[in-house]
Amino acid sequence: MKKYIILFVLCLLAMPLAAFGESVGVRAQQSVLKGEKNFLADYTTHNQDGTVNVVIEIPAGTTAKYEVDHKTGLMVLEQKDGQPRYVQYLPYPGNYGFVPRTVLAKELGGDGDPLDVVVLGDAVPRGSVIKARPLGVLTLKDGGEEDSKVIMAAVGSPFEKVRSVKQLNEQFPGVAEILQIWFTSYKGKDKGGKLLLSSDGVKERTEAIRVIGDAALQFERSKISEADKPKLDPDGNPYVYFSPEARNISD
């Protein structure tokens, strides 16, 4: 008898949703993903081989807007007006996600979220943590606020050996322009017919490296108590204390 009950349950699981009143071709949308680790806090920013880790929230070629919850570390399908969010435009032109253990601190003009990244390469499953190398920064402004995206090349992809925006434009003409057009256009226009997002172009790799480093430092500082934070000089830099035994190489 037990064998037949198990068989019946398996048959129910295998039945199409249409058998339970759903329309043909309609399926439930998975809305929460839990990784092996906390997506935001439990992966390193940099790897020993010089690459950067990236958590993929939106695979290339998809439109569902997922983001990682800051408190739980779970990946959640965004909601707007009680409905799941999907980009009402062409699908994402690259794998979209963020660099773990980074934050754009609000007190420094950021939005309080991890550093946004678009990774060039084959589409990978949502929730993947992949290695990539920074190429440049796509400058973006959304309603006057900074919303730039770091452009990166996935390890193991045709873009892996690219080391600069100039090289990207030479070897893969049109890619940077496609990204700029997509990200400035996907939110549409305002009532006056002007695009909601604007861009000043793509900055080179050195800027990408700086942005990643700054965002990683901001994350680490956000996890340190006020008592443990180093004192800053009038320019906002940590005070440097020299040991009396320290000597310059030129001495």
pLDDT in tens, 48-104: 999 999 999 999 999 999 999 988 989 999 988 888 999 999 999 999 999 999 998
Q: What is the pLDDT of residue 146?
A: 82
Query: Does position 181 have pLDDT exceeding 60, yes or no?
Result: yes
Q: Which residue has the higher pLDDT, 122 or 141?
A: 122
Query: Does position 233 have pLDDT exceeding 70, yes or no?
Result: yes
Comparing 9-18, 219-228, 241-250, the range with the smallest average pLDDT is 9-18
In the numeric block, the tokens 């699908």 are attached to 91
pLDDT above 90 covers what percent of the chain? 63
Q: What is the pLDDT of residue 247?
A: 43
- Do 211 and 115 contact (CB within 8 A), yes or no? yes
Q: Which residue has the higher pLDDT, 108 or 83?
A: 83
Query: Does position 214 have pLDDT exceeding 50, yes or no?
Result: yes
Comparing 17-21, 23-27, 132-136, 154-158, the range with the smallest average pLDDT is 17-21
Q: Is 92 left (phi over 0), alpha (psi -120 to 50) or beta?
A: beta
Q: What is the pLDDT of residue 20?
A: 34
- Do 140 and 148 contact (CB within 8 A), yes or no? yes
In the numeric block, the tokens 């080391």 are attached to 163
Enclosing H/E stretch for 69 = none
Per DSSP, 51 falls in state -
Q: What is the pLDDT of residue 227?
A: 54
Q: Which residue has the higher pLDDT, 20 or 5?
A: 5
* 165-170-174 Cα angle (round to 5): 80
Q: What is the pLDDT of residue 108?
A: 75
In the numeric block, the tokens 């996890």 are attached to 223
Q: Kindly state the tokens that stand for 108.
A: 């420094």
Q: What is the pLDDT of residue 80?
A: 86
Q: Kindly state the tokens that stand for 24.
A: 């043909």
- Do 205 and 135 contact (CB within 8 A), yes or no? yes
Q: How many CB atoms lie within 10 A of CB 232?
A: 10
Q: 99: closest CA among 193, 217, 240, 242? A: 217
Q: Is 236 left (phi over 0), alpha (psi -120 to 50) or beta?
A: left
**Cα distance between residue 98 and residue 78, in whole Å:** 16
In the numeric block, the tokens 């990200």 are attached to 183
Q: Kindly state the tokens that stand for 184.
A: 């400035």
What is the average pLDDT score of the chain?
Answer: 83
Q: Kindly state the tokens that stand for 237.
A: 């830099």
